Chains A and B, each alone.
Chain A
Amino acid sequence: DAEITQSPRHKITETGRQVTLACHQTWNHNNMFWYRQDLGHGLRLIHYSYGVHDTNKGEVSDGYSVSRSNTEDLPLTLESAASSQTSVYFCASSGNLYNEQFFGPGTRLTVL
């Protein structure tokens, strides 16, 4: 069955370190998204991609970057982790804008 996976599921890191969160989907979807979920803020869009080599900033993109070198993967990089980036991160994908979004299981990131 097609699926979307994230790794690691839990990560603890220190302030200032570079961190990369992986997202892999086997749906062959063009669109991929990264969100963070925080109490009091709900889900917020970080970055998104509509296809290979396409990336776009969401509403909370500062301090994050993505690159899309193939259809299946959209890794999210925190260039220099900050305590404010402690959150649960979700990756999602969809075939096109009119289709359902499917979410991964999430990565819980703690920045100390």
Chain B
Amino acid sequence: KQEVTQIPAALSVPEGENLVLNCSFTDSAIYNLQWFRQDPGKGLTSLLLIQSSQREQTSGRLNASLDKSSGRSTLYIAASQPGDSATYLCALWNFNKFYFGSGTKLNVKP
């Protein structure tokens, strides 16, 4: 069974810092991997989608990479801002199921 792990569970950084969030998975047979952000009491907002054949995707200050051989994806946030404070979840498609990580709660301090 696919297992998706996100470490750390929580992260607090000063504004302006570059940071990396990690997502690891146990089965490399995935269709794609998606990163989401969730604000308290809200739904999930899609940030980036990486297909299984791709190595990375970029959107603004965000860059997501995918290494299937090592079972790892990272989300890089450049020049973090207080508005980036949220919970970040990774999720992946694997044999007709969508598996979610438990998320990393990010706090960016002004």
| Contact A103:B98 (CB < 8 A) given known A42-B103, A97-B93 | no
Indicate with 1 or 0, residue by residue over B31-43, a CB within 8 angstroms of chain A CB atoms.
1101010000011
**CB–CB A98/B43 < 8 A:** no
Interface residues of A in 41-96 (CB under 8 A from B): 42-45, 56, 58-59, 90, 92
In the complex, A101→B36 CA distance in Å?
10
A105 and B42 within 8 A (CB): yes
Interface size class of A (residues with CB under 8 A): 20 to 34
**Chain B residues within 8 Å of chain A by Cβ, number:** 21
- Indicate if the CB atoms of A98 and B46 lie closer than 8 Å: no
Q: Does B81 contact A (CB under 8 A)?
A: no
A102 close to B (CB within 8 Å): yes
